[in-house]
Structure 1
Amino acid sequence: MSENVEAVRADVVARYDELAQAAQAGRRLIDCGPQGYADGRFGASCYDDTTGLPEGAVRASMGCGDPVAVAGLRPGETVLDLGSGGGVDVLLSARRVGPTGTVYGLDASPKMIELAEANAAEAGADDVEFLHGCIEHIPLSDAGVDVVISNCVINLSADKPRVLSEAFRVLKPGGRLGVCDLIAEDGLDPAQRAEAEHLVGCPIGTLTEAEYRALLARAGFTTYTITRTHAATGGLHSAIIQAARPDAPPGILIRPMRETDAEQVLAVYQAGLDGGNASFETTAPTWEAFDAAKLPLHRHVAVDAVSGQVVGWVAVSAVSSRCVYAGVVEHSVYVHPDHGRRGVGLALLNALIQSTETEGIWTIQAGIFPENTASLRLHEKAGFRVVGTRHRIGCHHGRWRDVVFVERRSTVTGL
């Protein structure tokens, strides 16, 4: 980690240690211009109902929204609050998940941990645990959390891509992200933007909506929405950021394809080609050729949750450089023969459908040999339809072969 990130974190921790001590002394915390708290844009006034919560937890609230209200928490779920502060969102989450659920609060400030633990004890919350650590290195194992929440904290990190990647890592397949944060309008004058960020307590800098979306996609989230809630100041807005990790069958995780996966991805590719019914190709391409042909936001791999071995992948290529076809892609999906009948192929296709629809792609298409009945059934399950058959379209291993053309037209984008 760079020295700059460490230095920024040290400054943030020192600042929030001081704020925690102020809260312990009975003072209300204000981390930006007081008008924002007075008119309901920040702090406890963002919540609809704090009845029954310890006064100290409510007093210490410095968020810009109510992530618990948008996270859709259910009884029995495991929740992680990034930058839990005085614990108000942890305690609200504990109410939602009930006695069968678990809520973790993670904070880098030792004094905030002390404050939160005291508030939880006062509230009689036994199913919560506060962890001392930084949001760039979450001290929890992979795929163990149902929901990650955060309230106006990600903007305080000097390594926001790492924060979102860590949130993705700890989420279970199908897990959800529900965050309130401040975002900036595109095209703001840098000096005016910096001044606005200083006024609202975001000295590290905010993200624009486009930047947030790009980082969510890079982290591996396949669905994501950003909804502005109210203006803050100087071109900044409070926003709700919701995202989801793709679902997967037991023992499988779906994540973004990485360059370090190259050897395993191409091995799965070659194993499919060796079966004789996957493609007209007979030899997997080089990684350089593969990388150049596939769109970067829509490459997913299925990996064994224990070994990390790549057992399948899906990716797309543009069908044309003409702008009218910007929302049309051609896909390939391969599952290693040793891992068939586990639901891997369907999970990969569903992840692809989610990521392409989120980015406005309206049609996914492919050609499949009619002899590849398993692939045809798989695509039918994923919502593809048969458009028609192209007869004797190419010669493969010395014989002319037909290709069944399939496509999936989105019902949510490009209408």
Structure 2
Amino acid sequence: MRRRLINSTLAVVLVVIAVFGISLVIVETRTIENSARESVQSEAVRLVSIVEGRLAGGERVESGVLRQQVTTDRYARVEIPGRAPIEIGSRPEGGLISSTETGEHGETVRVEESRATVSKEVGRTLLVILTVALLAVIAAVFLAVRQANRLTAPLTDLAETAERLGSGDPRPRHRRYGVPELDRVADVLDASAERIARMLTAERRLAADASHQLRTPLTALSMRLEEITLTDDPDTVKEEATIALTQVERLTDVVQRLLTNSRDPKTGSAVTFDLDEVIQQQLDEWRPAIRAGGRALARSGKQGLRAVGTPGAVSQVIATLIENSLTHGDGAVALRTRVTGNQAVVEVSDEGPGVPTDLGARVFERTVSGRNSTGLGLAVARDLAEADGGRLELLQQSPPVFALFLSMEGEQD
């Protein structure tokens, strides 16, 4: 493209120079010839007037007097009746420009000039025109190269930007080039880069959230399946299988919720539900794992609460808090329910060292962890709580007390 731009610009300049240059040469040649012809004629008229003046005054017409009136490189011949012709200068050879004038006393003056003199003048003019044309071509080449670089460099840069987008690097470059059309393309590419970056971030976040949210139900499900493999009692097998099926339903609900949130984060499915039922479900699922670790799991506080939210999401939040206590805490794990204002509160605590002082409220930020974990658990749990209008807070760092606040349905007894 750069070469085509330069060639097209030069072609236009050369055509313009050719058209105007040829026209200028023709006009200047004619002007020089006419000027030379008029000059010869004027000189002939002047010589005739001088000769007439001297003849009228009875003076002699001599070549010495006339020679001073004839331009160098010109030839003049004066013929007076009854006298010998007077010649001034050398008669030129080749093409001539001449003029003959006749006076009142019958005298004749002829002035001649070689056409070579005119040709030299035309040659000098042509040389000037060619020099100007050459300078114009050089200037055109410089401007064409500069303009081509100005246009092709941004196009090359935009192509590199598009290639970066295709290779998975969605960072916008925010470069502008002073050309409205190219700046418009750059705006579109930067906007596309930002959209792609948001999409990639959402996809990565969905993958991270999915892996973390699915891990807890799968862990609980695997524990139930292990219980089934370790017992020969049909009643126990049936009971554990029933719980496992419930966990599979929860797992399906988690997957469905993740897909729904990935398509439209604003879509919610908050309903009024029995908070005791959700808590009891989590107690039943986590009690075997807690006991296997030589620890206790207890529930206290007010019962019969009905909260507003998504049961699956609330189950996931409580499961995350219990799992954190099992993994990072120590001693007994306690669940306590209470009412504050028009909100139901589920507190989960243990007897461990709690959250490090340097973390504090940052424990809910993604990738923030004090125990070499992913740092996603509490962040995802807070997102789930806030999706239905609730909130998750750290009420006490040591020993740790996490509280899930949920809206309630009407007044509680």
TM-score (norm 1): 0.23
Q: TM-score, normalised by structure 2?
A: 0.23
Which one has a larger percent helix, Structure 1 or Structure 2?
2
Whichever of the two has the greater Rg, that structure is 2
More strand by share: 1
